[in-house]
Amino acid sequence: MRAQSLIQPPRELNPIGHDSLLAACHQHGVYPVIAREASPEQTIIALVAAGLGCSVLPEAVRNSGYPGVVYRPVGGGRFGITTSSSGRGTPSNRPSVRLFLELFRQPV
């Protein structure tokens, strides 16, 4: 299959997501060429709207309102996000922080 022009955030912003995307593409016989790197997501969408390539972005940007940009869901659970939390100090002395961390650790 021919190469597809892709506009993505720089790899250093999310190395695991970047590598997962390329691995999934290769697994399906698609060999994208990263034509441009950009950030934030609104900039990527503007570049897509200008016809410079396509992108794979979180579903949350679906309502960005750029004319001419078409959004298609990627099914099959191929992609996910990694989430982390950070804080200051030890949570053991703060009940609200402990509760947050308990909720954060629960599987989805």
Structural domain boundaries in the chain: 5-63
Handedness of CA 85, 91, 97, 100 (dihedral sign): positive
State the pLDDT confidence band at 3, using cuts at 50, 70 and 90: low
Mean pLDDT along residues 70-77: 72
Burial level of 65, CB count in 10 A (0-12/13-18/19+)? exposed
Tens digits of per-residue pLDDT, 39-73? 999 999 999 988 888 898 888 888 877 888 888 87
pLDDT score for 10: 94
Q: What is the pLDDT of residues 8-47, one digit of tens each?
A: 999 999 898 889 888 888 887 888 889 899 999 999 999 9
